[in-house]
Structure 1
Amino acid sequence: MSAAPLLNVGSDFLHLDIGQAPAGGRAAWLADRLRLAIADGAVPVGSRLPATRVLAADLGVSRGVVVEAYQRLMEDGHVAGRGRGGTVVVALPVAAATTVVPADVVTAPDPAGLFASVPGPDIFDAVRTIGARIDLTPGVPDLAAFPRTDWLRAERAVLGRLAASDLGYGDPRGTPTLRRAVAGWLARNRGISVDPAEVIITTGVSQALGLLAQALLEEGVTALGVEEPGSLGVRQHLDNWRLDTVPIPVDAAGVRVDELTASEVSVVMLTPAHQFPTGVVLDGERRRQLADWARAGGLVIEDDYDAEHRYDRPPVPALRATMSEQVCYTGSVSKLLAPGLRIGWLLVPHRYREAVVAAKRNADLGNAVLPQLVLAELITSGALERQLRQLRRRHVRRRDAMTAALARHLPGATVHGAAAGLHLTVTLDDDVSDTELAAAALARGVKVQPLSWHCQRPHQPGLVLGYAANSASAMDEGIALVAAAATALRRNQE
């Protein structure tokens, strides 16, 4: 591999003038200038930044200023230290990967039209295609933090020992190597004891739900309970399989099991470790009530979508850990590594296993082999554990930055779900329409989701805000623009 090109240094490097930096903010100023240079291509991905001592000497500052600036870029995932190879640019800022939208320009489709009606089945596709200067979409991990070096190292290790026969058609449940690795991961991180033979590898949670839907339909199930509020995307996916979704209220202790019992559904889908979108955890009493409901003939589908991302509370065991024959458990690496990998897993009670495996075989004959083996290598080598620890530290800082921005710009909002996950939910005064606010924010270049999208019944207005993929400065600007949009809406109503 050829060495990364060394950029010209000296007084001409990016025409940096330290005299423009505010007093006491030189490191932040330098980090911002470098971030902008990476975003506009002046410092392309693969380039090597000047050595810290060299740049410090050229700028006439202490080396600590440059070290701190580089560290900020590392924490954002834009650069990586390569030892003797120096500090190399590895990823564009997230905002640079989308269309840059001036604050006073409305993108197409029109934001007002996008948020004016009941969201259709293509709503998330439409939202993804709209450019935004600041994207606070929930559920989006920091894609710039993808462990490229560890992935390449694992891929080389896998290819070095891969037999030709390993590249043929395999078990539709997934490669035995990944199923063993996932079983170990679940045992260590989620308290689930499972035989690797029972693990079914899927292309994410969405496919897992589709496989379960087919098995349930064969059994005569036509409706299941879902959390209220709860994920619009999940509800749409189940609707696509012609399953009616019955709203079961969620409060501060989690799903209302008394309401679940009264609904008379026999299946319920839950996010018990970190409920989406409220962030509440299913408490001990509700877990006991749910166990009684399940033992009486109920079935729980447990979506453990971001349970590893916890910060200010102890780990919460998965429901599957204590109710293996009453719980279908699904998870993925979409929030831990990247959704584009399309790798997840599914555990089902024995009575559903044959039907689910048959549905998986009919769907695609099994996931691609090479990514499965690389992921297994990441898990067994400990690289995925290290990635999780790094992400937790970064996410805490970003969560705190968003919380501070909300307190500064939207002091009347109530923040929910701050102890874990990749997003915050805020509820607002009843005099604000959250869909109108989301449209007004998008017109200003900020992408958010209205809480009402995730509700089937009337609910206090609010916003669901992702923080994992944004810098502190971007979040502060984004929340300030949302607050300005809210103020303008209230003024227009007067």
Structure 2
Amino acid sequence: MAGSWVDLAERIGADLHLDLAGPGGRRAVLTRTLREAVRSGRLAPGTRLPPYRSLAADLGLARNTVADAYAELVAEGWLVARQGSGTLVAHRAAPPRSPSPPPAAPAAPGRPARYDMRQGVPDPGSFPRTAWLASARRALNAAPNDAFGPGDPRGRPELRHALAAYLSRARGVQADPGRIVVCSGVAHALRLLCGGIVRGPLAVESYGLPFHRSILEAASVRTRPLAIDEHGARTDELSRERAVLLTPAHQFPTGGPLHPERRASVVDWARRRNALILEDDYDGDFRYDRQPVGALQDLDPERVVYLGSVSKSLSPAVRLGWMVLPERLVGPVLAAKGEREAWAGVADQLTLADFIEHGSYDRHVRRMRQRYRRRRDRLVRALAPHTTTGIAAGLHVVLNLPPEGEKRALEAAREEGVALDGLSPFRHPGAAMPALTGLVIGYAAAPDHAFGAALAALRRAVG
């Protein structure tokens, strides 16, 4: 039939192809094809169809054939014909929604979670949309043409220069732009480093993020846990490992910075052993009771890989992170990164660079630091007289409980509709230190209007 795969973009302002192949007369084929386009949603409700004379000319059909097809679909309720408005897809002809899958059975009896008090989740409602949009407009207008070409696996130079200046000023990092590699986050950085650059055995803190351990295990990197206490990781337990992964600014999840003597001792160990320190600057931006602790990397930039991201400070939806590397590792990391597929999006890189350079990032972090501190204070007051730790920084507190108390509190929290984490899952399976039990309670994600109710439900759950 003439006109098979006809493009109606010029007629209706959107791309739509009509495949007029198939059995049957011309009117029957056209009617069937238009009906299927409406049913599938390719022709959305309210879409204006071209006049039947124009469509007939485009398809090489008789006018009466198209007019009759329109009339049949109007009669069936798929289309509506209005004087002066032409022929439109009927609103009641919206394609039926696919049946929703049955809800997953809850992991344990209780109400669905109404309050998100999980650790590590920032306030999604506080994303600086207006300032981010302004930065995006400026950055894209100023971007050179080569920004939209093949690019550089290290990341856009605009972002690397902006990061070098910011990290040096705010975190005390010795950050040359040529030694910064942009990635999509700390997890991505670990995958790149453990893809043949960092080999086991690797020391890790006895309590940490389980998915970080799973990344190391997937790369066949054997880990050995270091005990932790109120001064951070016990770096005196390091021996013959090839590398160590630490959260020196704020040990995750128990809290507290790495003690100055331990910071010096781990650098001395790395020099003696020709080993590598992976510094995850977790919660480095959010310290409330005194100035943020500077980065460990400043003590020896040739022994420390500094890892950071905007997942807590801005949003986990902005998939941008960075590594500040010893000079000898830049080439191997770029080789591990490969060609293009693992690169972060250029538009977001350019936007973040402008966001930093215009001071918007600093203003946002300061504003959120004040907001999160107020929330932390409310949470600590609500939990009194229970003992809380790790409150000096970050987006969560740890509520210490006796061994049997963690399970009971989690069950009670589910009954109250509160989603939060227990402390036990963060323990390394090979840890020798006594087990810690309690709750890891995030205070950033719940919206302002629900925060008071979330605290009340949490207080009922923990007693």
TM-score range, shorter chain: 0.7 to 0.9
In the other structure, the counterpart of 2:218 is: 240
**1 CA distance for matches of 2:388 and 2:353?**
37
Tell whether 2:202 aligns with 1:228. no
Amino acid at match of 1:250: I
Q: Which of the numbers 175, 182, 191 marks the counterpart of 2:156?
A: 175
**2 CA distance for matches of 1:301 and 1:340?**
24
Shift of 1:444: 2.6
Tell whether 2:303 aligns with 1:303. no
Superposed CA deviations along residues 289-313 of structure 1, whole A, max 9, x for unmatched, are 1121111122110000220111102
In the other structure, the counterpart of 1:464 is: 440
Tell whether 2:124 aligns with 1:148. no
Q: Which of the numbers 166, 169, 178 marks the counterpart of 1:197?
A: 178
Q: 1:472 to 1:342 in 2, by over 3 A?
A: closer
In the other structure, the counterpart of 1:415 is: 388
Q: What is the DSSP-based 3-state SS (H/G/I as helix, E as strand, rest coil) of the residue aligned with 2:196? A: helix
**2 CA distance for matches of 1:439 and 1:357?**
46
Mapped contact 2:109–2:415 kept (Cα < 8 A): no
In the other structure, the counterpart of 1:318 is: 295
Q: 1:485 to 1:308 in 2, by over 3 A?
A: closer
**2 CA distance for matches of 1:309 and 1:328?**
21
In the other structure, the counterpart of 1:286 is: 262
Q: 1:414 to 1:472 in 2, by over 3 A?
A: farther
Q: What is the correspondence of 1:266-277 to structure 2 with a 5 Å cutoff?
A: 266-277=242-253
Shift of 1:287: 1.2
Shift of 1:279: 1.0
Q: 1:335 to 1:364 in 2, by over 3 A?
A: same
Q: 1:131 to 1:303 in 2, by over 3 A?
A: farther
Shift of 1:483: 4.5
Q: Which runs of 5+ in 1 are unaligned?
A: 1-106, 115-129, 488-494
Mapped contact 1:227–1:255 kept (Cα < 8 A): yes
- How many positions carry a matched residue from both structures? 356
Amino acid at match of 1:315: P
Tell whether 2:367 aligns with 1:390. yes
**2 CA distance for matches of 1:163 and 1:176?**
12
Supply the RMSD in Å over aligned alpha carbons: 2.1
Tell whether 2:91 aligns with 1:137. no
Q: 1:303 to 1:342 in 2, by over 3 A?
A: same
Q: What is the correspondence of 1:89-128 to structure 2 with a 5 Å cutoff?
A: 108-112=104-108
**1 CA distance for matches of 2:156 and 2:217?**
31
Moved over 4 A (4+): none
Mapped contact 1:414–1:427 kept (Cα < 8 A): yes
Q: What is the correspondence of 1:28-47 to structure 2 with a 5 Å cutoff?
A: none
Q: What is the correspondence of 1:28-67 to structure 2 with a 5 Å cutoff?
A: none
**2 CA distance for matches of 1:353 and 1:396?**
37
Q: Which runs of 5+ in 2 are unaligned?
A: 1-102
In the other structure, the counterpart of 2:424 is: 452
Shift of 1:342: 0.5
**1 CA distance for matches of 2:391 and 2:122?**
16
Tell whether 2:402 aligns with 1:429. yes
Superposed CA deviations along residues 200-246 of structure 1, whole A, max 9, x for unmatched, are 000011100101101335xxx23311111222222122222222221
**2 CA distance for matches of 1:253 and 1:136?**
26
**2 CA distance for matches of 1:350 and 1:430?**
46
**1 CA distance for matches of 2:340 and 2:222?**
23
Q: What is the DSSP-based 3-state SS (H/G/I as helix, E as strand, rest coil) of the residue aligned with 1:169? A: coil
Mapped contact 2:197–2:332 kept (Cα < 8 A): no
Amino acid at match of 1:159: L
Superposed CA deviations along residues 256-311 of structure 1, whole A, max 9, x for unmatched, are 012223xx322110000011001111111111211211111221100002201111
Q: Which of the numbers 384, 395, 413 marks the counterpart of 1:441?
A: 413
Amino acid at match of 2:457: L
In the other structure, the counterpart of 2:15 is: none
**1 CA distance for matches of 2:451 and 2:243?**
39
**2 CA distance for matches of 1:379 and 1:371?**
12
Amino acid at match of 2:148: L
Tell whether 2:307 aligns with 1:330. yes
**1 CA distance for matches of 2:326 and 2:143?**
33
Mapped contact 2:181–2:324 kept (Cα < 8 A): yes
Percent identity between the aligned chains?
Answer: 42
Tell whether 2:344 aligns with 1:371. no
Q: 1:242 to 1:131 in 2, by over 3 A?
A: farther
**2 CA distance for matches of 1:448 and 1:195?**
39
TM-score (norm 2): 0.73
Mapped contact 2:200–2:243 kept (Cα < 8 A): no
In the other structure, the counterpart of 2:333 is: 356
Amino acid at match of 2:231: A
Amino acid at match of 1:290: V
**2 CA distance for matches of 1:213 and 1:371?**
26
Q: What is the DSSP-based 3-state SS (H/G/I as helix, E as strand, rest coil) of the residue aligned with 1:215? A: coil
Shift of 1:436: 4.6
In the other structure, the counterpart of 1:98 is: none
Shift of 1:479: 4.4
Q: 1:232 to 1:479 in 2, by over 3 A?
A: farther
**1 CA distance for matches of 2:310 and 2:462?**
35
Superposed CA deviations along residues 68-88 of structure 1, whole A, max 9, x for unmatched, are xxxxxxxxxxxxxxxxxxxxx
Mapped contact 1:302–1:327 kept (Cα < 8 A): yes
